[in-house]
């Protein structure tokens, strides 16, 4: 999957003509961390469920201890696979690869993959049946993805949907990736006077606002450079919320069995 996506953005660099493509690159990085890892993570408990019930009734361990041990052991792959995915994707583009950018990009993707797993596992514990969980989970996740900032900018979201944008971890991941790539760019190549020249492939950035500097591009997406650490904080808070909710739901279900 990373090779296929990388082929779409092959040798993409930060220039005016590639700005719409970069938005796709940043958002698909966030999206893939959920699409690739969320559904497989839902199946983690089901084959062991009867065993856990029996051993809990035999007073061998508590449901919360099993849940935390099982999810922690399974999380190793969700640390490794995002790094492999992100490395291949970055390697196929021509984006700037400073240590600062690479580390932030990897960290965002790792946190989002862990968040995806926590969401899937908590829904599996709450729903009680695998088929039910796989049906309900997309109903919750897809609206959050829609208001993540790619399909509609944050400042254009109707007021009655703003709470969904606030809760969308897609938005915070998308914003963080955009910030780390553009915050230090003084002038985007191809902007300025180049926008007025004749181009057969890309028109002036009519859909992007005024193409000029990296900070201006960030602002045009309704993002703010000062929000970088807020983005990390919200993603971590969401990760912890779903983890705690999963522990509580799994404990309740096992004790009720």
Question: Per-residue pLDDT for 51 more than 70?
Answer: yes
- Average pLDDT, whole number, for the chain? 85
- pLDDT computed for residue 192 by the predictor: 63
- pLDDT computed for residue 202 by the predictor: 41
Mean pLDDT on 175-200 = 74
In order of 12, 49, 88, 109, 206, the CA distances from 196 in angstroms are 22, 64, 35, 37, 12
- List pLDDT tens digits, range 196-215: 444 444 444 444 445 688 89
- pLDDT computed for residue 210 by the predictor: 58
- pLDDT computed for residue 212 by the predictor: 80
Nearest to 115 by CA among 145, 152, 146: 145
Map out the domains of the chain as residue ranges: 36-41+81-192+208-257
pTM for this structure? 0.86
Nearest to 40 by CA among 66, 8, 75: 75
List Cβ neighbours of 7 (8 Å cut-off, separation of 6 or more): 92
Q: Distance between the two ends of the chain, CA-based, in angstroms?
A: 40
- pLDDT computed for residue 156 by the predictor: 79
Buried/exposed 231-254: b ≥16 CB within 10 Å, e otherwise = bbebbeebbeebbebbbbbbbebb
Nearest to 189 by CA among 22, 12, 13: 13
Question: What is the separation of C-alpha 1 from the centre of its chain, rounded to a whole number of angstroms?
Answer: 16
Nearest to 137 by CA among 20, 58, 38: 38
- pLDDT computed for residue 90 by the predictor: 92
Instruction: Determine if residue 247 is left, alpha or beta; phi over 0 gives left, psi from -120 to 50 gives alpha, anything else beta.
Output: alpha
Phi, psi of 28 (to 5 degrees): -70, -30
């Amino acid at each position: 999957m990373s090779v296929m996506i990388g082929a779409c953005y092959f040798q993409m660099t930060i220039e005016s003509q590639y700005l719409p493509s970069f938005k796709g690159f940043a958002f698909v990085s966030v999206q893939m961390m959920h699409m690739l890892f969320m559904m497989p993570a839902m199946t983690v408990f089901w084959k062991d469920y009867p065993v856990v019930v029996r051993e809990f009734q035999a007073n061998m361990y508590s449901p919360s201890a099993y849940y935390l041990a099982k999810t922690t052991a399974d999380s190793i792959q969700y640390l490794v696979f995002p790094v492999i995915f992100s490395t291949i994707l970055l390697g196929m583009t021509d984006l700037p690869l400073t240590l600062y950018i690479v580390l932030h990009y990897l960290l965002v993707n790792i946190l989002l993959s862990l968040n995806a797993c926590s969401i899937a596992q908590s829904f599996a514990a709450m729903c009680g049946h695998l088929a039910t969980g796989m049906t309900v989970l997309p109903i919750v996740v897809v609206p959050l993805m829609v208001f993540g900032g790619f399909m509609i900018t944050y400042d254009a979201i109707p007021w009655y949907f703003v709470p969904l944008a606030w809760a969308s971890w897609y938005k915070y991941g998308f914003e963080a990736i955009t910030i780390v790539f553009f915050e230090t760019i003084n002038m985007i190549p191809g902007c300025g006077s180049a926008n007025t020249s004749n181009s057969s492939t890309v028109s002036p950035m009519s859909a992007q606002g005024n193409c000029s500097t990296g900070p201006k591009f960030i602002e045009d997406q309704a993002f703010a450079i000062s929000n970088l650490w807020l983005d990390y904080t919200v993603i971590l808070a969401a990760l912890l919320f779903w983890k705690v909710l999963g522990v509580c739901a799994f404990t309740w279900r096992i004790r009720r069995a």
